[in-house]
Amino acid sequence: MTGVLTLYRSSIGKKVIMAVTGVVLVGFLIVHMYGNTKMFYGPQVFNDYAAGLRDLGHPIFGHEHLLWVMRVLLLASVVGHIWSATVLTMQSQKSAYARGVTKVKRYEKKQRRTGYAAYTMRFGGVVIFLFIIFHLLNFTFGVAGYSAGEYIGEQGGVYNAYNNVVRGFSHPLVSGFYILAMLALGLHLFHGVWSAFQTLGLNNEKYTGTWRAVAMLVTAIIILPNIFFPIAVMSGIVHL
């Protein structure tokens, strides 16, 4: 128990927390992105998929029980990721100032590693956090981003998620914010995946190009489809 507490309080322990929660969140993003591709098959397929999420684990789990377990796990991962990142950033700044390292020098060091993505991690994190809140208020609860009567909640066990997604993305401001958030997430993901390789000790200069390519590939797989979803609605490819 003492060893666990020591690890938890150390910088390495916080990096482990940030890495593990990051993996959980990346896994969710991939699954979430894949699920959203079902909108291209029409309302019936997409609505059936949305309804199926609420009955995951049936009959062992009741209606929405496992879904809420997953939501709590995701929330815990988000909180853990933000907390560990914040503490590590504060510790890094404190250590840098103690050594007389200025912000300019730290920025130049980050530029040599992953460029602009590294420097925007904190600002991108704020945008992503605000987006998560809006995303829940928008598509999950239907209390923001819709005109009166557009959002359709559950009606007798029937979910019209397709209507809600299309109606939501039909608003330019909603789609614009969504795309902006995805761009911020892309920078965040790229630097996060790259940092994971460094944490694992795989940052040998010989393979730098390879790991950068892998980080870019993972980012592209998640971000490009997510950016295309609102564009597909705005352009009429996906419509009611």
Between the CA atoms of 52, 54, 58 and 62, what dihedral angle is there, to the nearest 10 degrees? -160
* Whole-number pLDDT of residue 98: 62
Q: Is residue 240 part of a domain?
A: no
* Whole-number pLDDT of residue 6: 61
Q: Which domain holds residue 127?
A: 2-234
* Whole-number pLDDT of residue 230: 98
User: From CA 78, how far away is CA 80, in angstroms rounded?
Assistant: 5
Q: Is residue 140 part of a domain?
A: yes
* Whole-number pLDDT of residue 84: 87
For 41-76, letters b (16+ CB in 10 Å) and e give eebeebbebbeeebbeeeeeeeeeebeeeeeeebee
Q: Is residue 126 part of a domain?
A: yes
The Cα-based distances of 12 to 201, 204, 211, 230 in angstroms read 13, 20, 22, 39
Record the pTM. Answer: 0.84
Q: Is residue 116 part of a domain?
A: yes
Q: Is residue 55 part of a domain?
A: yes
* Whole-number pLDDT of residue 192: 84
User: From CA 38, how far away is CA 155, in angstroms rounded?
Assistant: 21
Q: Is residue 239 part of a domain?
A: no
Cis amide prior to 172 (ω within 30 degrees): no
* Whole-number pLDDT of residue 7: 57
Helix segments in the chain, DSSP class H: 2-9, 11-36, 43-54, 65-98, 103-113, 116-119, 121-135, 161-169, 172-199, 208-234
* Whole-number pLDDT of residue 180: 95
* Whole-number pLDDT of residue 48: 94
* Whole-number pLDDT of residue 145: 93
CA atoms within 13 A on the CB side of 117: 19
Q: Is residue 26 part of a domain?
A: yes
In DSSP terms, 158 is beta-bridged to 155
The rounded average pLDDT for each run of 10 residues, N- to C-terminus, in the chain (240 residues) is: 60 83 92 96 95 89 90 92 84 66 51 55 82 93 93 86 97 97 92 77 74 91 97 97
CATH of the domain at 210: 1.20.1300
Give how many domains the chain has, as a whole number.
1
* Whole-number pLDDT of residue 8: 60
Q: Give the sign of the dihedral formed by CA 17, CA 23, CA 25, CA 28.
A: negative
* Whole-number pLDDT of residue 2: 60
